[in-house]
Chain A
Amino acid sequence: MDGETIVRVENLVKDFRPGFGLRKKRVLHGISFEVRRGEIFGFIGPNGAGKTTTLKVLMGLIRATSGRAELLGHDVGESAYRRQIGFAPESPYFYDFLTGREILTFYARLCDVEPARIGARVEEVLAQVGLSDAGGARLRTYSKGMLQRIAIAQAIVHDPSVLFLDEPMSGLDPVGRKEIRDLIVRLNADGKTVFMNTHILSDVELICDRVAIIVAGRMAYEGALAAFDGDRKLYDLTLASLPADFAEEIEAQLGVALGGRGERVTLRLGEKELNELLQAALARGARVEELVRHREHLESLFLRAVEAQRQERRS
């Protein structure tokens, strides 16, 4: 391991047999990606893309057909190193006859937390996820948002360095989503690397450092959110009160047809064209209404990736 790579997945393939005697179905087609220490990594994809399957391979719940998957330099089939990781599954279910405190005590014991420290640690974690007051109530009385928080609490009760969260915001109302999002950011600020499976792109845009997009069991993108635009910076410039002759000049220069004369027009320009046009526009009496850096939204990248995969499969 190079010291910075926490999760390394190489050419991971997973086949499932839908039923006895039936043909195998390939759900992961040799995917590869890496997660680095200290980042919040968003693993995104449409429903059925293979996100949860990948996560289950990483958690040792299902075995890969071929390829490699390593966590902290260990093969995912090992179990001793799991003291350093925490996992909160999607739509978690716990022993609902236990209270919040009891379930966290149970998980702390599974992780070999020192018995003398368990009580204090459980209280600390309950406070961290905002459930101190509800810690004595049975889990069957918990709301979905509270269960989601208990899921994260059990994932951090042994103070792991890496967290795996499967759809942590799914099914929550906007307030609940924000609370969980804030909690993830706080945990990351405390030094935990976070791997997050989700299809809620707005949450990913808000908190993730890097993302990987998986579509139909194949990797479609992996990289930093900031890298979407590529090396070339683009700007959206909105001008108003354009003199007619200047509008024609712009049309000739940029090879575009402007909608009207004297009305508002918006142009997408590179840095060099922007400087030139801006100086010219001001000199000719046009009014600059708005100038913003153009950013590609994750959604458009995501949709493009999905479409590209579909076309590839058709051809």
Chain B
Amino acid sequence: MNALLAIAGNTVRDAVRNRVLYILVFFALVMIGTSVVLASLSYVERERILQDVGFSAIRLFGATIAIFMGVGLIHREVERRTIYTILSKPVTRATFLAGKYLGLVATLWLQLAIMVAAFVAVSLAAGAPLHPGHFVALALVAVELAVVVAFATLFSSFATPFLAACYSAGLYLVGHLTRDLRAIGATSDSHAVQQATLWIHRLFPDLSALNRGLEAVHDLPIPPAEVGFALLMGVAWSLGFLLVAVVVFERRDFR
């Protein structure tokens, strides 16, 4: 446990030193601030436009930072050979991977908290109402980031950062499309298309289940059962990706 916390803590320290990270957070804050300007261009539903833009900025920049940081998570340690001294200690490869993962998730949640604070400040300043649905949706964004970091970590455990970034971005997009794809497939007359779209939906993480921004912004109810299911799904996918990452990582030679 000591080793896990030490590795996670060190990962946070390492991550918060990354200047690119600050630039991305800065742009996210600018984007949230700009939502006031964008909302002012409309005559109707200004508050909703403001929150819609803010919400999208949080999700987009959150995912970008998660992929950007996640894909170099393991590769950097191998390239810099810092992994040699760590794995020669009584630290299993699974502990190392879990520590790196937890450290990065903690960093991302810290940044998410900053973006959420900006979102709340802008909403309050513009007189846009805030209700529990917003915070439920933001909590699901936090879960989505944990899933994204998990698959970015998996790809980082065997691929170069560029390839890992391509795989991660691809999986992120697919994850947001599988539900629509399944819905489209269900309307097809072909049994094969129906089955194919059904299995794509089952095999890839359904990230759209973690996107409740629309309901939050439009003050629509978010059924607790769906929230619970999305949470469980997020945790299960994160653990699944991490387990595969551990299996891949266990077999790796550090030459």
Contact = CB atoms under 8 A, between A and B. Distances in A.
A107 B89 contact: yes
B91 A110 contact: yes
A226 interface: no
Contact of A79 (B2, B85, B91): B91
Contact of B3 (A59, A63, A93, A110): A110
A87 B84 contact: yes
B88 interface: yes
A95 to B, nearest CB: 6
Contacts of B14: 95, 97
B79 to A, nearest CB: 9
Interface string A92-121: 111101100000001101111001000000
Interface string A78-93: 0111110111110111
21 contacts: A16-B253, A53-B255, A56-B254, A56-B255, A59-B87, A60-B88, A61-B84, A61-B87, A61-B254, A85-B88, A87-B88, A107-B89, A110-B2, A110-B86, A110-B89, A110-B91, A111-B89, A111-B90, A112-B90, A154-B85, A164-B88
B81 interface: yes
Nearest to B7: A110
Contacts of A282: none
Contacts of A154: 85
Interface of B: 2-3, 5-7, 10, 13-14, 17, 80-92, 251, 253-255
B209 to A, nearest CB: 36
List of 7 A-B pairs having minimum Cβ-Cβ separation, nearest first: A87-B88, A109-B6, A62-B253, A82-B90, A61-B254, A110-B89, A59-B88
B255 to A, nearest CB: 6
A144 B80 CA distance: 16
Interface of A: 16, 53, 56, 59-63, 79-83, 85-89, 91-95, 97-98, 106-107, 109-112, 115, 151, 154-155, 158, 164
Contacts of B88: 59-61, 82, 85-87, 164
B92 A93 contact: no
B43 to A, nearest CB: 51
A16 B254 CA distance: 11
Contact of A109 (B3, B17, B253): B3
Contact of A89 (B17, B81, B92, B253): B81
A206 to B, nearest CB: 26
Contact of A107 (B17, B83, B85, B255): B85
Contacts of A106: 6, 10
A93 B253 contact: no
A111 B80 CA distance: 21
A109 B87 contact: no
A112 B91 CA distance: 10
A94 B89 CA distance: 14
A196 B248 CA distance: 31
Contacts of A16: 253, 255
Contacts of B10: 95, 98, 106
A93 B81 contact: yes
A109 B86 CA distance: 11
Given A62-B255, A82-B89, A97-B13, 16 more contacts: A59-B84, A61-B83, A61-B84, A63-B253, A87-B84, A93-B81, A93-B82, A95-B13, A95-B14, A95-B82, A98-B10, A109-B5, A110-B3, A110-B91, A154-B85, A158-B89
A51 to B, nearest CB: 14
A92 B91 CA distance: 19
A129 B90 CA distance: 23
A83 B254 contact: no
Contacts of B87: 59-61
A75 B142 CA distance: 41
B85 A92 contact: yes
A63 B250 CA distance: 10
B206 to A, nearest CB: 33
A203 B160 CA distance: 39
A6 to B, nearest CB: 16
A27 to B, nearest CB: 10
Nearest to A77: B250
Contacts of A56: 253-255
Contacts of B82: 93-95
B53 to A, nearest CB: 36
Contacts of A93: 80-82
A83 B88 CA distance: 9
Contacts of A151: 85
